[in-house]
Amino acid sequence: MTDATPGKTILSRQELYDRVWSVPIQELATAFGISYRGLAKICRQHKVPHPTPGYWARKAAGKRIVVPRLPEPKNNAPIIISPRQQHSFKLQISPEKESWLNQVRLAVKNLRVADELRRPHTVVAKMIAREGTGDDIDNRRHRILDALLKVLESHGGQIEEKDARIIILKAEGTEVEFRIERYEQPPTLLKGRPRAVTDQAELKSTSYLAVAIGRHLPLGLPSGWRDKENRPLEESLPAIVETLFVIAADRSERRRKLQAELEREEMARRIQHEQEKFAQEENEAWRRLIEIAREWRDAQRVLRFLDTIEARGFDVEKTIGERTLSQWMAWARDRAERVGTPEPDAESTFTKVQARQEKNAWRF
């Protein structure tokens, strides 16, 4: 019932059950284009038992294993598995970085792995101290990783161990995560069931090594390499070194362009802010000029009003509040004359505009 629809896989519960018990679930998830956790979640949702961690190792060691039966389904709806969206980007590498990458390509073209591990890299030495030397496959893994880390550092990279599995390459101001793992190839299938194998060495010989790089890779770059029947992982080392440095150069150029874009946006914001500030100051100066003109006009009106009052006459000794009318008239004329006389001129007018501008600036 498996459907070959591009981008998705449609299969029955029985088909999914058969497949998860025939190959490691990690490999099956990769074939479906999803993560291990994603496939395990699908199995739980559809009540499909799947191997627990360590199942294939116990099977390879000849230990007793129990395969649970597929329970009866509540419904026979098909299972649809859609691959997760890949965030791929086009390479962005400057001409200077491309020239440097060409030099790296030439330098690692004939990279070889030593037959014996001597003076291992610090990360490899820690790995051996933590895990032991292991068998021939583990020894290959240590020698391959040692050669890879040393050549990366010889071309300007810095190596850090993130945890027991993941290694970080620091180059071109960026970080690239990768790892080299050992995997166990399950026995060959015959009519849906593992064939009987009595030779334990034959099972162990199916182990293989693989290198995987972290997520968010540029379009067209490989994300991993593994041992193949006609091409061991050692022969892929030049391509691995090149790819790691290509990713670092791409991320560096991408970050540079992003920083330049952020700086342009910041400059545009500053220019806009300055323009808005200038416009605000212009409007404020205009408002102050109108205010000064209005005060002068009002003062002129007050002076003419006082002249009218004096022409009509009044009792100078009459008291209003704490002042006599004569004192009130003197106070009013003094205030009006300070604003309304003498006749306004450019220097005095704009001196007042500037003085009020500076006063308002202190207020903010």
**Is there a domain that residue 75 lies in?**
yes
pTM: 0.56
Q: Is residue 144 part of a domain?
A: yes
Comparing 47-56, 89-98, 258-267, which segment has the lowest mean pLDDT?
89-98
Strand blocks (E) in the chain: 9-11, 79-81, 158-161, 167-171, 174-184, 189-190, 193-194, 207-213, 224-226, 319-320, 323-324
62 and 116: one domain? no
What mean pLDDT do residues 269-290 have?
92
pLDDT tier, 343 (very low <50, low <70, confident <90, very high otherwise): confident
Residue 364: band (very low, low, confident or very high) from pLDDT cuts 50, 70, 90 = very low
* pLDDT at residue 356 is higher than 80: no
pLDDT at residue number 147: 94
Same domain, 74 and 191: no
| 361 confidence band (pLDDT: 50, 70, 90) | low
- Two tokens, residue 341: 């006389």
Cα separation values, 163 from 147, 158, 225, Å? 20, 16, 21
Asked if the structure places residue 219 within a domain, the reply is yes
Question: Residue 223 pLDDT > 80, yes or no?
Answer: yes
Q: Which two tokens stand for residue 302?
A: 């007050």
Instruction: Work out the average pLDDT over 108-116.
Output: 90
Q: Are residues 188 and 227 in the same domain?
A: yes
Residues 250 and 276 in one domain: no
Q: State how far the Cα of 147 lies from the Cα of 112, in Å rounded to an integer.
A: 8
Question: Domain check: are 51 and 113 in the same one?
Answer: no
**Residues contacting residue 245 through CB under 8 Å, at least 6 positions apart:** 101, 104, 152, 155, 157, 171, 172
| Cα-only R_g, the chain | 42
Q: How many domains does the chain have?
A: 3
Does 146 share its domain with 71? no
Last residue of a domain, one of 81, 106, 129: 81
Last residue of a domain, one of 81, 116, 142: 81
Question: What is the average pLDDT across 13-34?
Answer: 88
Structural domain contains residue 317: yes
Q: Distance (Å, rounded) from C-alpha 180 to C-alpha 244?
A: 13
Answer yes or no: is 264 within a domain: no
Mean pLDDT for the stretch of residues 340-364: 73
pLDDT of residue 353 exceeding 70: yes
Q: State residue 274's pLDDT score.
A: 93
Same domain as 230, residue 279: no
Domain with 111 in it: 95-259
Model confidence at 200, pLDDT cuts 50, 70, 90, reads very low
Please check whether residues 199 and 106 belong to one and the same domain: yes
Structure tokens at 95: 């001409």
pLDDT of residue 191: 41
Q: Single out the residue in 196, 230, 259 at which a domain terminates.
A: 259
Does residue 316 belong to any structural domain of this protein?
yes
pLDDT digits (tens, 9 = 90+) for 295-336: 999 999 999 999 999 999 989 899 999 999 999 999 999 998
pLDDT above 70: percentage of residues in the chain:
87
Residues 248 and 312 in one domain: no
pLDDT at 146: 94
Q: Which position has the token pair 């962005």? A: 92
Over residues 57-75, the pLDDT tens digits come to: 888 888 888 899 999 887 7
For the cut 50, the answer to whether the pLDDT of residue 138 exceeds it is: yes
The string of pLDDT tens digits covering residues 146-162 is: 999 999 999 999 999 98
Classify residue 107: in a domain, yes or no: yes
141 and 197 together in one domain? yes
Determine how β-strand 167-171 pairs with β-strand 9-11.
unpaired
Is there a single domain that holds both residue 231 and residue 359? Answer: no
265 within some domain: no
User: Do 180 and 255 have their domain in common?
Assistant: yes
